[in-house]
Structure 1
Amino acid sequence: MIALNQDEVRLLRLLVEGASNSTAAKRQGIALRTMELHRQKVMKKLGAKSAAQLGYLFARYEGEHASQ
């Protein structure tokens, strides 16, 4: 089972809600490049090849973890 930490989940929620990379970085209190690196790490963890696929996989991830 794939595990995302709280920061990764927060970042993905911002992106799925439509926040731009720069807005997501500001809300997280991190540099834009740092946010981009975190996003790349999460994409690799989830096996996403695109932003659209990342959104889909994150929705599935949240559904699987909603009852936990």
Structure 2
Amino acid sequence: MKSNLINNYRMGGYLLLAVGLINLRYQTGQSEILKNSLLIILPGVLLLIATWIPAIAKMLLPKSIQILVTT
């Protein structure tokens, strides 16, 4: 169960990273596109990093944190 939950967080992180990069590519030429894309990319990268560090990954397991992350 715990590994499935961490895997779900990883997939969410990858999703945010991919959507941010797609946004960056498709809105090339728009003003402030880097800022807008980084608002999507950075949380994804931080979530990915958090899942690969065991001490931080343990902090993602309680139900209260799950509610905060998913809302």
TM-score, normalised via structure 1 length: 0.29
Higher relative contact order (CA 8 A, sep 6+): 2
Larger radius of gyration between Structure 1 and Structure 2: 2
Instruction: Report which of the two has the higher share of helix.
Output: 2
TM-score using structure 2 length = 0.28
